[in-house]
Structure formats: structure tokens, C-alpha cells
Structure 1
Amino acid sequence: MQQIPHPYQTLYSELAQRSLDASFSSEFNVGGRFVAAEVKGRRYWYFDLPDAHGGKARTYVGPIEDPEITKRVENFKDLKADIRQRRKLVSTLVREAHLQRPEGKTGDIIQALAEAGFFRLRGVLVGTVAYQCYPAVLGIRLPGTSMVTGDADFAQFHSISVAVDDKMPPVLDTLKSVDPTFREIPHPADGRLSTQFSSRSGYKVEFLTPNTGSAEYEGHPTPMPALGGASAQPPRFLDFLIYNPIRAVLLHGAGVPVTVPSPERFATHKLIVASRRRTDNDGTAKSRKDKAQAAAIMQAMIEQRQSEDLAEAFMEAYERGPAWKDAIRRSLSEIDKRARDIIEPALARAIAKLERDPAEFGLEGQA
């Protein structure tokens, strides 16, 4: 694997921080602009925002002579200037560092949900789009063949959705602002609830929440108070994936601050779900993709001397029970042999450093 040169890693860190700062400081839609207008001899600030009909909506802000109001206008100018600079950073990272930019519609959907408050409400981006964030996070290029996707998946703990005492605007309205053809897909177990939304072209957005109860809950949608009318599908093993997520930035537009699973949990989770895919053609292809993504991240973490972080997540999952252990062992045995010859000895050495016996985790003779 090829490391990303340090100057570009520094640029990414700067972009991530500036994007996060902007998400906290933005008080007005950056698509609009402040204008000064004179009324009866006094000058006032107004805010013009283009509408869907080619016109503009004008909002009164306050007198120019008010220093606090004028300060807000100046801060907005700085924010818009920063957006242009951040766009240049994104372009540089994509063009020169060859980092992955999501497909345009995917980026627009994630940005719209971010602006609607999904990540502020402690939601987590999961799936292949999250995988696209890891090269910059890890400082190493990952195989692009594992990055192709036609959907976007989002997750949130149900307990958080209840506890935050806040909610997004209607999810369907947010998605329609990107593509008016988005519609709700009634859940087959309860047609009153929707966990998936689909556009006319077949692009799907799905919301998930961990199932930490019995298997009988897996096929039933869970209402999510914070998600703007969306419910969530409750798969098993998801609680492991989205526990203690990390911040990242999606290389779209001027950079979109997102929250994704930690790479060690993402890789270990992929080993688990890969062995549990359906055995039809679609399931088999997804299983191969899962294992490829897991192997790529694990090798990258080993190269970047993060083996102990990987080992801790691996051990935690392995010790959660027979179903977890069997799934991990099966997938690990099925990944490419060249990758396995790197991963297994490195895991064994890291486990030994953590004062555990590698043999307890199916890695006897590897250390």
C-alpha cells in the first residue's frame, strides 16, 4: 500500500478542522448574501436567499450602525471566503493526493443530512461511503475497487435518538431537496413506518439502529424520535460498529464534517457481516466486498503501526460469543492469502503485547 505524503495529510487535518469550525459558526445559508439598503435615510442589513422560482427571499437583519449585527455580517463574509479556500483544499486532495471523492449525488445527500443536523444529533455514517473516508484518516491509499456504491447508510443508537430531545426536519423533505423523486419505502413488517428512501433512479438511503435484544426484533422497524420521521432497521452487531465513532471529513464541495466508525471497528465488523450474507449472487458479491474492505483497512493499520488498536477491537468482538467468533474466523480464513499472511501474524504479535494469548483468538503459532 502507498502512503499519502505528509504534506497532504497536513492539508486534510486543516480541512477537517476548518470544516468543523464552519459547521458551528454558520448562522445563515451560505447560498445567500447580505446586502445593505437605505430606508428613509437610514441604512439596514438584509439577507437575500435565492428561491426555487428564480427570485429571492429578502429577510430583514438590522441597522448597519449596530456593531453586533455588522460583526455578524463580517463573520459571514469570512465564512464564505473560507468556503472558497476549503473548496481548493478539497480539490487539491482529490487531484494531487488522489484521495476519493464520493459520487456527486452521494455527497449532496450526506451534506444535506449534515446540514439538517444528523451528525450533530450523534448519527454515524456507515457502509461504503464511510470506507471512502479512511484513506485520509489513516494516511494511506486503499483499493478503489472496494469503494463503489449505489446507496448511503446512516446509523444512530435508539437510546441517543430518545435522549437528545431534539430532532431533524422531515427526512423526506431533506432528501427531496437533493432529488425531488425521493419517496418513502413502507417497511414490509409495518407499512406505517419507513427505514428506506429511494429515488426514481434507484438510489437508496437507509437508516439503521443496533438490535441488542433477541433476534425476533431484527425484522421490525424501530421508530427514531430524532430522525425527522424516519424509522430504523435494527440489525445485530451494529452496536459494536458505531460505538465510540470518530470525526472525519467527506471530500465533497467545501468538505462535509461527518462521523464514521473507528477503522478498527469497521474492519472487524466487516469480517462479522461478510460471513452472514445471503448465499445468492448479490449476497456473495457483498460478502467479497466486505472482506476486501476489512483486509484493506487491517493491512493499512498494520503498516501505520496501529496494530494494537486493531487487536483490541478484534479481541472485544471475538469474546462477545460463539456467533461472533465463528463469523470472524470464517471470514478471516477466506480473505486473500497474501493479505492473511500479513494480518494474522501482526494481530498475534499485538495480542501478545497486550498480554493475552494469541491462541485464545484462533491465532496459535502466528506470533
Structure 2
Amino acid sequence: MAWVVRFQRIKAVRAERTITVRALIGSGVPRPDRIIGRVIEALARARLFSNGAVLLGTAAYQTYGGVLGVRLSRAFSRPAEHDEGRSARIALRAADQIPDLFAALRGIDPSFASFASPADVVGTTRFRNASHLQIHVHVASELAILVDDAVQSIVLHGPGIPVKVPAPERWVVNTLLGQGWCINGTDDPNQAFARAAELIEALSMVGREHALARAFDAAWDCALKWNVDLRASVQHLPSPARTILEAHAGIREASSTPSKPRQASDV
């Protein structure tokens, strides 16, 4: 029967992909831990990524080696040591997708429940299970500079999970705009800037400096709106990454935030 043949073909493809994923993991390519992988797989099965959701945090960063075709540091692909517990972060297309996400979480662990924190910002929802695994959910409209032009990637879990992640150049500018907390899954500025620097060097290595320039152009209005001095942020990067940015006129210009126009009340 046709459906039997189709099922056998799907099963064979899944087995082949699983072998490939295991080989990549065996070669040192980073992957999420098992429970984070299960969460991401559940969200993918709920069709959240195919409907505009974007994976954030360490799990997203771990996929950039595949996106760029380079080997990234395993040290920077691990969660910061001081972070409490494990967590995953995702940006949803709209808030009305939160019930679907919650149902997917409950499908793998009924102990998941929503909870609030005084540190939460507008547009953020959190879920936590009995083992203190936290899922941070953001609404994409609050993170446009980050999630616009998201790219396809694969999380190394099971047969490989297709997801969307922020374009690496947008990860960089988002960190420099001071929003690293929402993508890195850590409040550690050292790790946030180390990841940004590694991506800058990787983008340069594969000849995508033009993508960095475009991303910095997109960050221009945000820098003015949020009163962020991108030039000062760039100074927190290691010298090789700064040199790459300063070598490109568009990036250098965009990293110099002009002073705010004087208001009538200032005269």
C-alpha cells in the first residue's frame, strides 16, 4: 500500500538523519542537553517554528556553526556557569500562540506552569516545571531588530530539529544595543560580548561583512530611540572584532550614535 511505502521512506530518512546528527555531535559540534532538546522538538511538532517562532538563547547560538559553515568555540556554546538552572528562550510571532506553546510543554511534562518574576519585561512570559527548567517566551513584535529576517537552522537533537534562529549579524547588533539578555539566556556581559565577537569574526571569515553592515544600518534607528551609543558598545569587543567592524565604512558610521537633537525646552 502507498501509505506503507511512504511510512518506510520517512522512517529511513529519519534514521539516516539521526546517524548524521550523531556523527556531528561526535565530531564536537555543540548540542543542547537532552531536556532542552525535547522541549525544542515539542515546539517544532506544534508547528510554532513553521508559523513564525524564532529560537533564542544558547540553543540558538549552538546552531550558528552550521548556519555559517564554521566551527565555533564549544566554551561559548555552553550556558554561563553562574546561570541558575536550565532554560530555553523563544520569540513567538504573536501572543495568541502562547496557549499552543503551553500545551506543547505540558505534553512532555505536566508540571509546567506559568510564573512571574519582578525582573520580567513587557512582552515576556515564563513557564517552569518541577525540575526548575524555565522557558522564556517573548513576543516577536518586541524584538523586531532581532527576529526580522530569521534564518533556518537545525538543532542537533534526535534526527535534527528544523528551527528558525536570528540571523547571526542581527544577534551581534542586538547584543551591542544592550539587549543581550533576551538572546543569550544569560546576564553575563562577558559571555554576551564574547559570542558577538565570535560571530563577527565568523561572518568576516565567510565573506559576509556586507550582512553586518546592513544589520548595523537597521540598528541605527533603535540606537537613537533607546539612546544607546553603539560606538561605546563596540569598545567592549575584543580587538580583532573591533578591527573587522572599523574596516567597513557602513559599520563604522552606524556605530557612531549622533547626539540627540536639541528640544525647544533645552534652548
User: Normalised by the size of structure 1, how large is the TM-score?
Assistant: 0.60
Contact 2:223 2:229 in 1 (8 A): no
- Note closer, same or farther for the CA distance 1:170–1:242 as it changes in structure 2 (3 Å cut): closer
Question: What's the CA shift string for 1:41-91, capped at 9, x where partnerless?
Answer: xxxxxxxxxxxxxxxxxxxxxxxxxxxxx2112101111111111100101
Aligned twin of 1:82: 13
Aligned twin of 2:3: 72
In structure 1, C-alpha distance between the alignment counterparts of 2:52 and 2:100, rounded to whole Å: 17
Q: Tell whether 2:256 aligns with 1:362.
A: yes
Q: Tell whether 2:165 aligns with 1:260.
A: yes
Once the 2 structures are TM-superposed, how far is the Cα of residue 339 of structure 1 from its aligned partner? 3.1
For 1:250-289, what aligned pairs fall within 5 Å after superposition? Answer: 250-273=155-178, 285-289=187-191
In proportion to residue count, which structure has more helix? 2
Q: Which amino acid aligns with 1:80?
A: K
Once the 2 structures are TM-superposed, how far is the Cα of residue 338 of structure 1 from its aligned partner? 3.8
Find 2:45's aligned residue among 96, 115, 138. Answer: 115
In proportion to residue count, which structure has more strand? 1
- Note closer, same or farther for the CA distance 1:347–1:201 as it changes in structure 2 (3 Å cut): farther
In structure 1, C-alpha distance between the alignment counterparts of 2:176 and 2:159, rounded to whole Å: 33
The structure with more radius of gyration: 1
Aligned twin of 2:261: none
Q: Which amino acid aligns with 2:18?
A: R
Contact 1:310 1:347 in 2 (8 A): no
Once the 2 structures are TM-superposed, how far is the Cα of residue 241 of structure 1 from its aligned partner? 0.5
Q: Which amino acid aligns with 2:175?
A: K
SS across alignment from 2:154? strand
Q: Which amino acid aligns with 1:120?
A: S
For 1:1-367, what aligned pairs fall within 5 Å after superposition? Answer: 70-96=1-27, 98-149=28-79, 150-158=86-94, 170-186=100-116, 195-210=125-140, 234=142, 238-273=143-178, 285-323=187-225, 326-341=228-243, 343-348=244-249, 351=250, 358-359=252-253, 361-362=255-256
SS across alignment from 1:207? strand
Contact 1:295 1:335 in 2 (8 A): yes
Question: What's the CA shift string for 1:3-31, capped at 9, x where partnerless?
Answer: xxxxxxxxxxxxxxxxxxxxxxxxxxxxx
Once the 2 structures are TM-superposed, how far is the Cα of residue 168 of structure 1 from its aligned partner? 7.9
| Runs of at least 4 residues off by over 6 Å | none
- Note closer, same or farther for the CA distance 1:84–1:292 as it changes in structure 2 (3 Å cut): same
In structure 2, C-alpha distance between the alignment counterparts of 1:274 and 1:172, rounded to whole Å: 25
Question: What's the CA shift string for 1:244-300, capped at 9, x where partnerless?
Answer: 2111111110000001111111111111125889xxxx97x5222221111111110
Q: Which amino acid aligns with 2:219?
A: A
In structure 2, C-alpha distance between the alignment counterparts of 1:74 and 1:317, rounded to whole Å: 50
For structure 1, the 5+ residue unaligned runs are 1-69, 212-233, 353-357
The higher relative CO (CA closer than 8 Å, separation ≥ 6) is in 2
SS across alignment from 2:51? coil
Contact 2:147 2:166 in 1 (8 A): yes
In structure 1, C-alpha distance between the alignment counterparts of 2:91 and 2:180, rounded to whole Å: 21
Once the 2 structures are TM-superposed, how far is the Cα of residue 202 of structure 1 from its aligned partner? 1.7
Instruction: Give the aligned length.
Output: 247
In structure 2, C-alpha distance between the alignment counterparts of 1:198 and 1:276, rounded to whole Å: 18
SS across alignment from 1:326? coil
In structure 2, C-alpha distance between the alignment counterparts of 1:194 and 1:269, rounded to whole Å: 17
SS across alignment from 1:305? coil
Q: Quick one: percent identity of the two aligned structures?
A: 29
Contact 2:220 2:254 in 1 (8 A): no
- Note closer, same or farther for the CA distance 1:73–1:209 as it changes in structure 2 (3 Å cut): same
In structure 1, C-alpha distance between the alignment counterparts of 2:146 and 2:189, rounded to whole Å: 17
In structure 1, C-alpha distance between the alignment counterparts of 2:62 and 2:180, rounded to whole Å: 22
For structure 2, the 5+ residue unaligned runs are 80-85, 258-267
